Amino acid sequence: MSYTAEISRANPSCFLFVIDQSGSMQDVMDPTNVQQMDAPVSVDGRTYTQTASGDSKAKGLSDAINHWLFELVLKCTKSEGPRDYYHIGVIGYGAQVGPAFNGSLAGKELVPISEIANSPARMEDRTKKVSDGAGGLVDQAVRFPIWFDPLANNGTPMCDALTRAHSILSQWVPQHMASFPPTVIHITDGESTDGDPTSVAENIRKLATNDGNVLLFNLHFSTNKAKPISFPDNETGLPDQYAQMLFRISSTLPDHIREGAKKDYPVTEGSRGFAFNADIVELIRFIEIGTRPSNLR
Amino acid sequence: MHVSPRVRWSPKFGNAPEDYEDASCLKQSNRERDVIRLAVADGATEASFSREWANLLVDAYCAGQFTKDVVSQLQQKWLVDVGAKSLPWYAEEKLQMGAYSSLMGLTLHAPIEGEVGKWEALAIGDSCLFQIQHDKLIVKWPLSKSALFNNSPILLSTKPECNDDQDKLTILGEWTPGDLFFLMTDALAQYYLQAVEQGDSPASVIPDFSLQPFPEWIADLRSSGQIRNDDVTLMRVCVA
């Protein structure tokens, strides 16, 4: 149980995102131009008194996952095309619980990375800075793939979503016992509305290949303005009971991730795969560190 | 000058032969009858189209044309060759990132009357040259210890802005009849140095493959954890 299995086409690994798409994910992450409304407005049981400009948490989250998928496809791409080192799934929960891909992948639970590469819902035109070969930077037009769009409504059926994740992985794991175990990345902004997810989270972490138990990471977006926390080793100092609950259900970081994170975070042997209010850039880095074993072949 | 060359290679375990991204080349110059050029190169795994780049490099070296201008022409040729057809978004992105390869080239010169034979070598990255004379390892270059290998060697890129001319190393030497030269890509070179450091005879670490084929020998080393799982290329040349 050492998390050292070589990730290969014969023994692929798996990443399963579990994404909060409840109504509160409409909240703006870094609000600007905040203005008082004439009268309060109620949406999905929450009362709003201000308007603001900026990306919503749902938009930030979809950008982060699209970016991560983009990077992962490139990492797996060789001359002949993407090699199926990974199977990927995105389960959303809000008004419904289920697969959250858009386009031709809609409804699919786990998809090989080559299918992800070849099936974006659409391509968007963007620009990126590239070297001009003479020490400067120039804008270059690029096509950016979109697999996943922001969505935010209704409650937070966290237990139902994690149960769905457990069900998907219960089928995947016995078929891939020699593989590096699956990584579940759960991203939420708050309180479960369908009960305590502790026992279902434990069931997920109990699933195991011959190389180790399934890894469960939790990223907590909160309206609580407490300072960001990454990879804590205890729950003292976490700002609320929801953050504490998510910390408790997170896996302890295995050695290879702890080593990778050591440069940027004060990790210890007890550090867990949990981040509180990590900003989007940090969140992407968190996910990349958490999903990049050094022994990819 | 007479050489007895042997080239052996094996893709990394789990990969098909067509996934192999090393390259090798040996040429006796038509114009210069007394010059023989050999080269191995190791295309970087993280990039796309590295095999094509590695092949361009060994061919150019063995054609005796490895100047800065020629590298610039090779970079353009690589881009034209691999970018000729319409590519999906991910292949286009990978193309922008460029390909990378090591290169180890050895040129052997026949002795001019009354003198010993000369050789010169060029290295970029962690592919290695070893020279054995009377069972003594007299040249181990550019890496001389097994501990010096790592996962991020400096390599030659198809992107001019990623290269530094100072990364290209050269060395000169002499040979006598019966000398043995090995050119190896990194995983095998590291294993070789480790074995010699542990007291094995430099001439016998690499066996004669008449009894056990090279792929089986490499598979044994991999399964016993003695060598990293990577593409492996060996060029063995006995010169007389």
| A8 close contact with B: CB closer than 8 A | yes
Instruction: Indicate the length of chain B as a whole number.
Output: 240
Say which of B88, B89, B229 has its CB closest to residue A6: B229
List chain A residues with CB under 8 Å of B223: none
pLDDT at B30: 63
Q: Which residue of B has its CA nearest to A116?
A: B90
Q: Is the pLDDT reported for residue A290 higher than 60? A: no
Strand, coil or helix: what is A167?
helix
CB atoms B49 and A133 under 8 Å = no
**How big is the A-B interface in CB pairs under 8 Å?**
47
Query: Tokens standing for B92?
Result: 């286009």
Judge whether B60 and B29 are in contact, CB under 8 Å.
Answer: no
- Which of B90, B151, B231 should be substituted to probe chain A, the one whose Cβ sees the most A Cβ atoms within 10 Å? B90
Q: Which residue has the higher pLDDT, A125 or B140?
A: B140
Q: Which residue has the higher pLDDT, A174 or A63?
A: A174
- CA atoms within 13 Å, Cβ hemisphere of B64: 12
Query: Across the strands, what pairs with B37?
Result: B27, B107
**Residues 107..126 of A with a Cβ closer than 8 Å to B: which?**
117-118, 120, 123
Looking at every residue in chain A, the average pLDDT score rounds to: 85
Predicted TM-score (pTM) of the model is 0.80
Of the listed ranges A16-20, A91-95, A288-292, B145-149, the one predicted with least confidence:
A288-292
Judge whether A215 and A206 are in contact, CB under 8 Å.
Answer: no
pLDDT band at A288 (very low <50, low <70, confident <90, very high): low
Per-residue pLDDT tens digits for A127-179: 877 777 677 788 888 888 999 888 888 888 999 999 999 999 999 999 999 99
Query: Tokens standing for B33?
Result: 């009858």
CB atoms B90 and A8 under 8 Å = no
CA distance A75 to chain B (A): 7
Distance CA B221, CA B196 (A): 15
pLDDT at A293: 40
pLDDT at A117: 96
C-alpha pair distances (Å), B156 with each of A159, A292, B53, B163: 52, 25, 9, 6
- What would the DSSP string read from start to end of B198-220? TT--TTTSS--TTTS-HHHHHHH
What's the complex ipTM?
0.79
Distance CA A283, CA A150 (A): 16
| A225 close contact with B: CB closer than 8 A | no
- Stretch B28-37: mean pLDDT, rounded? 77
Distance CA A177, CA A209 (A): 4
CB atoms A75 and B93 under 8 Å = no
Q: What does residue B78 show for φ and ψ, rounded to 5 degrees?
A: -60, -45
Query: Tokens standing for B192?
Result: 């070789």
Distance CA A119, CA A130 (A): 26
